[in-house]
A and B are shown apart, each in its own frame.
Chain A
């Protein structure tokens, strides 16, 4: 399991606990490698050959590796080659870039979590490094075993050195950096190991709990079947919820303290960007695991109950708002009602489109005597791919609806709207937690015959669940 790349996001603990981004970057002994190259001249071919032989490729994710632009640069060199590397990284980033702009945070964690060595990229980099020996620190991700045998080989045949003081100093610095990298890597690997053990323990506990009937029903087909895309999605969502808490309390204070309209508008706009963030996140998640979104596994059970196409139903939300927003002027009431109406029409259209997709899928899967199994699956797969489009359009609808609110309402009313929405979902989440942890007495008691049909889930209550309580 030498090259088992666990998502950084899952087990990150190196510097910033709440961030899913590995800020430090390199776990690779670059210093020693460069030293070897400088001493020997370019022999990149050997290196890439080794690289190809020893690195594992995980074929499932088409992600590109995101580079953190140059860590340690010594002296004043390497600006142009630095930019060359950054061009490569930005190019690969753009190759992946879907239609919506992704937040740096969410995309980084997806990039890093699914860093599957991009062999070409590394080969390019190594060519670059080889041709320009003054290049320094980048965050390559290779396993250390490659370097050592290479090094030994190089050291053995070290010949005449024409190194000046500058190069020597830089080499020393790199060695330092490399040592630090090694230590960090060691710490990280240890953390990985302990986390793996913890994970296995948790799974076993869960199994035991299930078999004892403490959990009725299952979470999406078993713990082992949660995709890593889903895990990342949930983690990013949890982080978003924490941000949401913060924004809401700011809004609340803003409203109570009679802030000026301009200041309040700023807050409202910030809150809107905060919402844009969740839609970007969902857009990413839809690419990796659309079922996770569609089945509502990313959200709490109570919210899941009222799920429409992977999220909230905009017209329902507006209904809630209308009841909470008195008094409204005639014009505002008309604006809101018209918004609700348009939303309903759009929802209806999307629902019918999805229905047609479902029907088409059913027909394919049900198959017929003439259809060959493999082909059937292939057709079904291509139809499934359309699901992402529907979730995206639904999210687009949600996003547009939220953006429309401050256009038809005063800024104070808009701020109140967002508070109402946030509190509403907070209560639903709290409800889910309470429901899951309510005392049950005898499980199959006579007085509660419907218990068995309820789909329950162990929900880990987070801080945000109880914040509105």
Chain B
């Protein structure tokens, strides 16, 4: 399954999801709802690279564009606290588990741990 053009598989309108009061709770909840979750900013090119990486592997990630959500700012801050100040979008969760920002994702792909994680989460077959 390869992504075509701009359709990333699954853009879920966040307003329709149940509202957690705490942004961190919301992040965690959203992260656990799909096999592969990317918190992104629509204008961010590195986020584009992350999306491309997963699509190139045949994975359909669920993407949440934080700049397009009214509560996105809070969530972004919650994510920053989670990861430490230097980390920024894109931030990837696989199987509900935090993988990290782009450099962690790359590192885990190179050291061979990404694909097993994806398979385990059911995002990748074969």
Contact = CB atoms under 8 A, between A and B. Distances in A.
A345 B53 contact: yes
Interface stretch (A86-94, A289-297, A347-355): A347-355
A345 B46 contact: no
B73 to A, nearest CB: 18
Interface stretch (A73-81, A195-203, A392-400, A454-462): A392-400
Contacts of B67: none
B106 A357 contact: no
B111 A349 contact: no
Nearest to A339: B110
B86 A99 contact: yes
B97 interface: no
A356 B53 CA distance: 14
A20 interface: no
B24 interface: no
Nearest to B84: A99
Contact of B49 (A342, A353, A392, A404): A353
Contact of B57 (A345, A350, A390): A345
Nearest to A352: B52
Contact of B52 (A342, A343, A348): A348
A338 interface: yes
A407 interface: yes
B12 interface: no
Given A345-B53, A348-B52, A353 B110 contact: no
B50 A349 contact: yes
B45 A400 contact: no
26 contacts: A99-B86, A339-B112, A342-B110, A343-B110, A345-B57, A346-B53, A346-B106, A348-B52, A348-B53, A349-B49, A349-B53, A349-B56, A352-B48, A352-B49, A352-B52, A353-B50, A353-B52, A356-B48, A357-B45, A360-B43, A390-B46, A396-B103, A400-B106, A403-B111, A404-B110, A404-B112
Interface of B: 43-46, 48-50, 52-53, 56-57, 86, 102-103, 106-107, 109-112, 114
